[in-house]
Structure 1
C-alpha cells in the first residue's frame, strides 16, 4: 500500500479574496492569482492548534507534555508532514500554469471559449524543439547516445515553422495564466479570473473626513462567480488521513488579506481521492508515441535517423515554483542525482526561469526570507538508457509526482507532473502538419 493518500481539494471563495505575499508600494494594490500551499497549510494548522489543551506551549511544541495526544503534533510533528500544493483557479476543474514550452497566437490568443472572441489555440514546443536541436546540433547533450548514426555531422533538415501560428501564420507568444484539464484529460480553457478593482479614499484622522490625494485602488477576486474555484493537490501520509480529513472536507477558513474587512472566507472540500487521471503508465506511453512521431518526421528526411529512440524519454513539468540548492547555492536546473533518479539517467533539455519567493510566517509573526526559485511551468526533459530497470524507474517517477522535488515541499513548492498530457495533446508539430 502507498505511504501517501492524494486528495484533489476544491477551495471555493464565499467572500471576495485579496491574495498576495508581497508588500505593495504606491496607491495600487494588486491581487495574486493563486493560493500558495503555505496559506492552506497555515489555515489548517491554526484550526488544529485551537484544540490545544496546553496553550502555554503553543510556541514550544517540543516541550509540551501532552504532545502525543495533540492533533497539531500528530499532523505536523512526525517525520512526514502533509504536502499542501498550490491552488490555481479554474472553471472546468483543476487548473495548472502554462509550461514555459507553451505558445499561443499573438493576435488571437488562448483556447476556444464561449466568449464571442476568436482564439487560435495553445501549442507546445517541447518535443518538436528538442528533436530539431538533437538532429541538427552535433554538440547537443546525449546526442552520441541518442543518435549514434549521425556522429558529429551537421545535417540540414526541414524544420516545423514553430514560430508561426498554424492557423493564421501570425507570430507566437507565451500564454499567460492557467489551463484546465477536463475529465477526459484533454487540456482546455480555464476561464478568466473574475477580478474587479475597488477604489478607497484615505480618511484624515484629525478631522474624520476624506483626505485630498489619498485615493488608492485594490484588486479583489469575486466569490463563486461563473463556477470559479481554486483547486489544489494535498498528499497526506496514510497514518494521518483520518485525522486530517475533517479539515479538508467541509471546513471553512479565512485566507489572504483584508480579513478584518470581511475578505478571504473560503470553503474547502475534497473533490476526488487518488492519483491523477490518466495514470502515469498511460502518460508515459503517450509521451513515447508522440516522441516517435516527431522523430519519424526527421527520419523521413535522413535515413540515418532511426524511427525509434533507444531508451525512454520523460518530462517533469513544474506545477508550482521549485527551490533547488546545491552546496548552499541556488539552482534553476536540478541534477538527476538531486532528484534521486538512477545514476544512468541524463538531463537532456531544460526550460527554466527564475522567480523570487517568500511569504509570511504566521507562527513567528515575521516575513520569511526570500529565496530564488524556478518559476512554475518549468520543464525538464530526461533520457533513460535501456539498461535501467523499468520498475525502478516507475517507482522513482511515482515518488517524484507525489512528494515533489527540491526544498520546502510541505509548503507546496516543487510539485511536478510527469509527462504532462499538455505536451502531447497540444504538440505544435502535429497541428502544423494537419493544417497542410
Structure 2
C-alpha cells in the first residue's frame, strides 16, 4: 500500500454537475477517480498513447488503470467525513457527539442546547481550517462575429483554494493499493513523485505535487462487532447484478460474507446489525473512448454498516480491507472505507500558534464573551450586527476595527463593557467570535422562551 500526499499549488476545480444556471460547485476533497485520471494523463505524457506503445507497456497501462489497483479519495488536513450514524448539537454550540453505532444508553440523545441532528455524510473542515475554502471565478468565450459570449460558454465556477487559513499550501492525504498482478516496472512508476494536474480548468488551475511513500500499516482494533464507515460512494450488487437492497439485511449479510471472508482470515459475517445509508447515482466519463460510463446506484459516502462476526476478524485482514475497499469499480475510486470498533469522535481543533501570550491574556473564551454581550441587554442586536463583522474577518483577517461600538445603540455602554468589547473585536480569533454568536443565540432563545411562559 502507498501512502499518498498531494500538495496543491493552484486552486482545484473538482467540479460537480451544476443545477440549472447555478455556479458549478466543487468537491471539498479529491476523489480517487480524479487522482486516477491525472496519473493516467501523466503516464501518457511519459510514454505516449496506449495504442501506440509496445505491447508490454500497453499491458502495464491496463494493469495500472484498468486492473485491481484501488485509488482511494484524498482528504485535506483538517477535514473528515462525518458518518450518518453520528448525532451532534444542532447549533454547534457544544461538543456533544453521540455515535448511534456504539451507543448503549436508553432514551433519545439530547444536549443542553437542544436536539441532536445526524451527520450528512459530507466532508467537513474544522472551524480553524474552514476559512476561505472556496474561490469563485467567471469564465466566458467571446464570439468574434457577434462580440458576445458564445452560447453555453458563459459560466461561473467554484474551486477549492490551494492555501489554508494560515497561508500554507493545502495538503491532501490518502492511499493507493497496488494490485497483486501489477508488474514491477509499473509499480515503480506509481511510487515515483511527480507533478500532476487535477480537476478541471487545467490550464490555469490544478497544479499539485504527488508524493507517494510506502505506508506503515497499523492494524486497527478488532472484535466481533465492526462498523464499516464508507468514505467514498460504494457500488454493492446482488448475485443478479442489481443494486443491493440495504433494507434486506440477509441479502447484505450474504453478499458481504462472500466478499469479506477471504480477506479477514475466514471470519464470517453472521449478521448485519444496523445500517445508516443514503443513495446516489454515480457515473463518469471514459476519456479514451470519449463515451460516458454506466450510471450506477451507489451507497453514499458517510454511510455506516455495523456487522456482527462469528469470530474477531484478523487485524491484518482489516488493513487489507481498508486498502482494497468493497464493491465494484474500486479502481475508479469507489468503495473506500474505514473500520471501527468504537464510537466516532469529533476531531480536536489544532492549538492556535499565532496569538501572543499578551493577546491570550486579554481575550476571554467564547462563553465569557457571550455572557458579557448578553448582560448588556442588546443580545439579539449583537447577533444581527456582529455576524457581518465575523464574515468580513473570515475573508480579510487584517480588517480589524471597532466601528460596531460607535453605533448609536451602544452609546450608553458602561466603560468596563466597552473595554471588554473593544478587546473582543480587536483580538479574539474568528472562530472564537463565531462560537460566541452561537452561545449568545442560545442565551437569547432561552430568555425568549421564559418571556413566553411567564403568566
- TM-score bracket for the superposition, by shorter chain length: 0.5 to 0.7
Please name the residue that 1:86 is paired with: 73
- CA contact 2:60–2:183 (8 Å) conserved in 1: no
Map of 2:233 onto structure 1: 321
Q: Counterpart of 2:28?
A: 33
Q: Does 1:11 align with 2:3?
A: no
Rg (Cα) greater in structure? 2
Q: Residues 123 and 426 of structure 1 are in contact (CA less than 8 Å); yes or no, is this contact kept in structure 2?
A: no
Tell me if the contact between 1:27 and 1:215 (Cα under 8 Å) persists in the aligned partners: no
Q: Deviation at 1:69? A: 4.8
CA offsets 1:179-213 (integer angstroms, 9 cap, x no match): 67xxxxxxx76832710222456645424357999
Aligned to 1:268: 210
1:225-248 Cα shifts (integer Å, max 9, x gaps): 334322221112476566445545
- Residue equivalent to 1:57: 51
Partner of 2:64: 76
| Structure-2 residue corresponding to 1:191 | 129
Say whether the 8 Å CA contact 1:357–1:373 is kept in structure 2: yes
Aligned partners of 1:103 and 1:122 also within 8 Å: yes
The equivalences for 1:199-348 within 5 A come to 199-200=138-139, 203-208=142-147, 216-226=155-165, 227=168, 228-237=170-179, 240=183, 243-260=186-203, 262-270=204-212, 273-275=215-217, 277=218, 279-280=219-220, 283-284=221-222, 312-326=224-238, 327-331=240-244, 333=246, 334-335=252-253, 336-341=256-261, 342-343=267-268, 345-348=270-273
Say whether 1:407 aligns with 2:354.
no
1:74–1:323 distance in 2 versus 1, CA, 3 Å: closer
1:44 aligned counterpart, secondary structure: helix
Match of residue 106 from structure 1: 90
Query: How far apart, CA to CA, are the structure 2 residues paired with 1:237 and 1:246?
Result: 14
Q: In the alignment, is the contact (CA less than 8 A) between 1:179 and 1:190 conserved in 2?
A: no
Question: Per the alignment, do residues 52 and 44 of structure 1 end up closer, same or farther by CA in structure 2, a change over 3 Å counting?
Answer: same
Unaligned ranges ≥5, structure 2:
247-251, 262-266, 348-455
Q: Distance in 1 between matches of 2:215 and 2:317?
A: 21
TM-aligned CA distance change 1:98 to 1:323, over 3 Å: same
Offset from partner CA, 1:272-294 (integer Å, 9 cap, x none): 6222x5x32xx22xxx6xxxxxx
**Structure 2 partner of 1:307:** none
Specify the alignment match of 2:276 in structure 1: 351
Report which structure shows greater RCO (CA 8 Å, sep ≥6): 1
Alpha-carbon contact 2:122-2:302 (below 8 Å) kept: no
Q: Is the 8 A contact 1:179 1:189 kept in 2?
A: no
CA distance, structure 1, for counterparts of residue 163 and residue 346 of structure 2: 30
1:12 touches 1:224 (CA, 8 Å); kept in 2?
Answer: no
Q: Does 1:48 align with 2:37?
A: no
Distance 1:372 1:205, change over 3 A: same
Structure holding more helix per residue: 2
Range with greater deviation from structure 2 (80-89 or 320-329): 80-89
Length, aligned pairs only: 329
Give 1:325 deviation, angstroms: 1.1
- Please tell me the root mean square deviation across aligned C-alpha atoms, in Å: 3.5
Q: What SS is found at the alignment partner of 2:114? A: coil
Shift in Å at residue 24 of structure 1? Answer: 5.2
Instruction: Tell me if the contact between 2:175 and 2:323 (Cα under 8 Å) persists in the aligned partners.
Output: no
TM-score under structure 2 length normalisation: 0.63
Contact 2:83 2:304 in 1 (8 A): yes
Rate the CA distance shift 1:403–1:216 in 2: closer, same or farther, 3 A: closer
Decide whether the 8 Å contact of 1:48 with 1:71 is kept in 2.
Answer: no
TM-score, reference length from structure 1: 0.65
CA distance in 2 between counterparts of 1:71 and 1:344 reads 36
Q: 1:161 is matched with which residue?
A: 108
